[in-house]
């Protein structure tokens, strides 16, 4: 087990090239729930945009279009009314986040099926995990090694029943092998496991992260890095570290909406430790 930190993934971080444009920086989609449950998707989408994805779209039921369009600016809003419409929207995506407040119902299962066919790297969170309780193998059939599952312990138990009895580290490693995907097991010491046996532990996170919506931000950070083609294990490790770092920078009183706004400071600090950074870049210690 390795301790997660910049040394583990900094060489893979997707800093934009001088000739970058929005499409070269990656296209992220985030699936939203209905009109009264759009907040989670908005948090994930803003996090993905802040961490560098060049173009972010929220894919939503038609009933949610007005709510989302009134509250999003740089993030685009695309309604879909069935699998064929979602399939068209998903085709150009490099990564997609599904699960935050999408609903524990067959609509989420259907959307995951469509996204899995698109070739986009997936972040599967929240409702998109819970909906597969008792039928985990159906979920695993949709996944490949580029995808990332982001359960807290309750969701982990629903998808991987009984594994936690073996201890968190052993459980995360076994889950990654079983799902053939990256598994990020959230907690005070978040664990990131890969099917090939790699396992990283994030240093203890600030207690301020125990607040509604913080997991949606984490899903969006991972999705934004995947959209920029950062390898999935490194993207999950990086996002977990940045998420905790942002919380530490804020301190008491943190709410989930604060986290994306702190990512530029975290990025600035990371850029400052690059050996090839311009002399004017920040070099504050991490």
Query: CA-CA distance, 234 to 239, in Å (whole number)?
Result: 8
CATH label of the domain that carries residue 253? 3.40.1190.20
In a domain, 278, yes or no: no
Total of domains in the chain = 1
Task: Tell whether 283 is covered by a domain.
Answer: no
Instruction: Give the separation between CA 81 and CA 83, rounded to whole angstroms.
Output: 7
| pLDDT tens-digit readout, 82-99 | 999 999 999 999 999 999
**φ/ψ of residue 163, rounded to 5:** -65, -35
280 part of a folded domain? no
Check whether 215 has a pLDDT greater than 90. yes
Share of the chain above pLDDT 70, in %: 95
pLDDT digits (tens, 9 = 90+) for 152-208: 999 999 999 999 999 999 999 999 999 999 999 999 999 999 999 999 999 999 999
Residue 282 lies in a domain: no
Residue 49 confidence (pLDDT): 98
**Residue 281: is its pLDDT beyond 60?**
no
The terminus-to-terminus CA distance of the chain in angstroms comes to 22
Residue 83 within any structural domain of the chain: yes
Quick: pLDDT tens for 45-66: 999 999 999 999 999 999 999 9
135 assigned to some structural domain = yes
> Is position 142 within any domain?
yes
pLDDT at 276: 54
Is a pLDDT exceeding 90 seen at residue 67? Answer: yes
Which domain, by its residues, includes 77? 2-272
286 in any annotated domain: no
């Amino acid at each position: 087990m390795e301790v997660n930190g910049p040394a583990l993934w900094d060489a893979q971080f997707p800093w934009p090239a001088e000739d970058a444009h929005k499409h070269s920086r990656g296209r992220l989609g985030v699936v939203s729930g209905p009109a009264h449950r759009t907040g989670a998707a908005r948090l994930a989408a803003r996090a993905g945009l802040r961490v560098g994805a060049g173009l972010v779209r929220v894919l939503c039921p038609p009933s949610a279009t007005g709510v989302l369009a009134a509250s999003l600016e740089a993030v685009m809003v695309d309604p879909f009314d069935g699998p064929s419409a979602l399939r068209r929207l998903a085709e150009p995506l490099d990564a997609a986040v599904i699960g935050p407040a999408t609903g524990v119902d067959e609509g989420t299962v259907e959307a995951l099926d469509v996204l899995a066919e698109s070739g986009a790297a997936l972040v599967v969170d929240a409702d998109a995990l819970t909906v597969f309780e008792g039928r985990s193998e159906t979920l695993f059939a949709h996944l490949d090694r580029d995808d990332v599952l982001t359960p807290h312990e309750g969701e982990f138990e629903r998808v991987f029943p009984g594994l936690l009895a073996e201890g968190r580290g052993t459980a995360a490693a076994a889950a990654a092998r079983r799902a053939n995907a990256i598994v990020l097991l959230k907690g005070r010491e978040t664990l990131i496991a890969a099917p090939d046996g790699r396992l990283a532990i994030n240093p203890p996170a600030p207690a301020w992260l125990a607040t509604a919506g913080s997991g949606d931000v984490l899903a969006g950070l991972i999705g934004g890095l995947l959209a920029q083609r950062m390898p999935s294990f490194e993207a999950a490790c990086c996002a977990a570290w940045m998420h905790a770092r942002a919380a530490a920078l804020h301190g008491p009183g943190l709410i989930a909406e604060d986290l994306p706004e702190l990512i530029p400071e975290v990025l600035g600090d990371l850029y400052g430790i690059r050996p090839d950074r311009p002399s004017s870049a920040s070099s504050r210690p991490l």
